[in-house]
Structure 1
Amino acid sequence: MLELRDLSCGYGRSAVVQGIDLEVGTDEVVSIMGHNGAGKTTLLRAVVGLIPAMGGTVALDGADVTAKPTNKRVKDGMAYVPQGQQCFAHLSTLENLRLVADGRGRGKALIAEQLDMFPALKGLLGRQAGLLSGGQRQQLAIARALITEPRLLILDEPTEGIQPNVVAEIEATVVDLAARGGLSVLLVEQHLGFALQAASRYYVLRGGRIASHGETGSGAETDVREAMAI
């Protein structure tokens, strides 16, 4: 579903991430891990087109999208949830969802589907999004992204600053989404337990390059910790 080949990106003339080869298969969850400053968010921003590639290619489902702007990549099936539980704080929970759903043929049905997936939001539809807890805002951000019916969901630190019980809910949702079929997930996560439990494969970034990668399972946590020098 996603294929990065020799991808380099950064800001100005400074390359933050260099020579990245990475794949996310159809209906697969893949985790990217690494310390702060390793280049994880920069890499995601290049994948969705928020910053240009300095070299290499980004392909979505076999089609080269390296030169496409972000809105075209979204139309092609990417959805991006940046870190920080971002929402339109002055709008209600329902208004946040309607912003994305309005104009879509299945708009009302898509909102209903997301409320079934995140039932905690049902009782908060009239509340300003800025007054929600961090966990509630994160669920809203993911629900809003899923309304676009993506083929690839990109999550940047979805558990950052979230209470443990909501972390478990988000993990279960990510696993369930991939199991249903029709959606691949690229997950940037520092919570090792979550990252390795939710994903089938992982990559570790260090100094803007891939330090290690492999399948999750027995021995994976040791390999990740060694690659991150924990």
Structure 2
Amino acid sequence: MGEAMLAVVDVDVAYGRTTVVHGIDLTVPADGVTSVLGHNGAGKTTLLAAAAGLLPAARGRILLDGEDVTRLPPNRRVARGLAYVPQGQQSFGQLTAGENLQVVADGRRDGRAATDEALDLFPALKDLLGRQAGLLSGGQRQQLAIARALITRPRLLVLDEPTEGIQPSVVTEIERTIVELTRRGGLAVLLAEQHVGFALDVADRYYVLASGRVASEGTGGTGAARDVRTAMAI
């Protein structure tokens, strides 16, 4: 493992007066995948939103590539190499798939090349560029959302429930892409998942959240799935 691309240090996150994430410590290595597992309501999305700057940390620090970004807004975290793909296969539904990619590529010096590289990772999208994004399947929209994020050439890709509601063949494709991207180097991935098999297949490190706290953590390997399922039963 290399240096930490993201470090979450003793972080609390609250909605109003209600704290939903409590004292989280989490590290995302610069050259691998970190999975955050847990049931609905465990605090996964809240934690990822705080990492991306969409929710403030009520306590603690968030470091991006060694720099304290705890008080920085999302756009400044994006400028430092963070890309966030929220839950729900989000896209501009009235635009074509190609226009969805173009929105991000426009104004980037390497926009065309970055778009071509993203499409090489998701070749099924190449035949769908002229189709309205709102008419794509959930799996196709999720591939589009990840491709769009990759056009920014991030150093940290944050994915919230990337397999939710997606057919198994596309889950396999997304898994393959994540593994390939991190193997190339220069990209760290933090993902939140309920799909234990997928999360552990891609992860170099995992954390299990229960009631907004880390219930278990580890590095995969023998016994990881059993450990995760035990922790998620809390």
TM-score scaled by length of structure 1: 0.99
Aligned to 1:70: 74
What letter matches 1:41 in structure 2?
T
What letter matches 1:59 in structure 2?
L
Unaligned runs of 5+ in 1: none
Does residue 80 (structure 1) correspond to residue 84 (structure 2)? The answer is yes
CA–CA distance in structure 1, aligned partners of residues 223 and 214 of structure 2: 18
What letter matches 2:230 in structure 1?
E
Superposed displacement of residue 64, structure 1: 0.2
TM-score scaled by length of structure 2: 0.97
Does residue 144 (structure 1) correspond to residue 148 (structure 2)? The answer is yes
CA–CA distance in structure 2, aligned partners of residues 175 and 227 of structure 1: 25
Superposed displacement of residue 186, structure 1: 0.3
Which of 43, 46, 55 is residue 50 of structure 2 equivalent to? 46
Which of 115, 120, 123 is residue 127 of structure 2 equivalent to? 123
Superposed displacement of residue 55, structure 1: 0.3
Output one character per residue of 1:64-98: Cα deviation in whole Å (capped at 9) or x when no partner.
00000000000001000011000000000011001
What letter matches 1:36 in structure 2?
N
- After TM superposition, what 4+ stretches of structure 1 lie above 2 angstroms from structure 2? none
What letter matches 2:20 in structure 1?
V
Aligned to 1:167: 171
CA–CA distance in structure 1, aligned partners of residues 214 and 121 of structure 2: 34
What letter matches 2:69 in structure 1?
V
Output one character per residue of 1:19-64: Cα deviation in whole Å (capped at 9) or x when no partner.
0000011111010000100000001111111111100000001000
CA RMSD of aligned residues (A): 0.7
Secondary structure of the corresponding residue to residue 174 of structure 2: helix
What letter matches 2:126 in structure 1?
K
The correspondence of residues 127-206 of structure 1 with structure 2, limited to 5 A, is 127-206=131-210
Output one character per residue of 1:119-152: Cα deviation in whole Å (capped at 9) or x when no partner.
1110111111000011100000000000011000
The correspondence of residues 101-120 of structure 1 with structure 2, limited to 5 A, is 101-120=105-124
CA–CA distance in structure 2, aligned partners of residues 193 and 69 of structure 1: 34
CA–CA distance in structure 2, aligned partners of residues 117 and 200 of structure 1: 21
Superposed displacement of residue 229, structure 1: 1.2
Aligned to 1:10: 14
Which piece of structure 1 moves more, 59-68 or 6-15?
Answer: 6-15
The correspondence of residues 203-222 of structure 1 with structure 2, limited to 5 A, is 203-222=207-226
The correspondence of residues 27-38 of structure 1 with structure 2, limited to 5 A, is 27-38=31-42
Unaligned runs of 5+ in 2: none
Which of 14, 25, 28 is residue 21 of structure 1 equivalent to? 25
CA–CA distance in structure 1, aligned partners of residues 227 and 116 of structure 2: 41
Superposed displacement of residue 10, structure 1: 1.9
CA–CA distance in structure 1, aligned partners of residues 195 and 231 of structure 2: 15
Could you tell me the percent identity over the aligned residues?
67
Secondary structure of the corresponding residue to residue 80 of structure 1: strand
